[in-house]
Copies of this chain bind each other. A is one copy, B any other.
């Protein structure tokens, strides 16, 4: 259960573009340098973000990437889904092997129920966060996190 490189850098690139403000744009070399990844790799990641509909690209001189929508309309959960897929999806149980009593896939499996619960917990946080929320400093973000109803908010406070 790790973040993939796509997820880690993809989200950071998106935040970086968001920092450029309404209509502001950044080029691949700029993003690349800011995030400390190679231009080639940045291009690869930005392609995913573009295909996901989160950024728009302008070619040619004076080109660059800009947000496809206002930051508050970009839900982080959707971004992560585009960059790295979900932890648990319905087809998950079609792909793994094992027949007997536990994982009869689609009949009766307590493990599946647990994964589903974890996915719900993750979604609960990521579906509430928008890019707008990430365009603030860590302290403000921590305050925001505490506003999430439920444990994620509560326990972060310690």
Contact = CB atoms under 8 A, between A and B. Distances in A.
Contacts of A86: 1
A34 interface: yes
A118 B111 contact: no
A48 interface: no
Interface of chain A, main secondary structure? helix
A141 B110 contact: yes
A10 to B, nearest CB: 11
Interface residues of A, number: 69
A93 to B, nearest CB: 10
A88 to B, nearest CB: 8
Given A1-B1, A121-B150, 13 more contacts: A1-B2, A2-B87, A12-B111, A35-B100, A36-B97, A76-B114, A108-B137, A108-B139, A109-B138, A110-B141, A113-B141, A114-B125, A114-B141
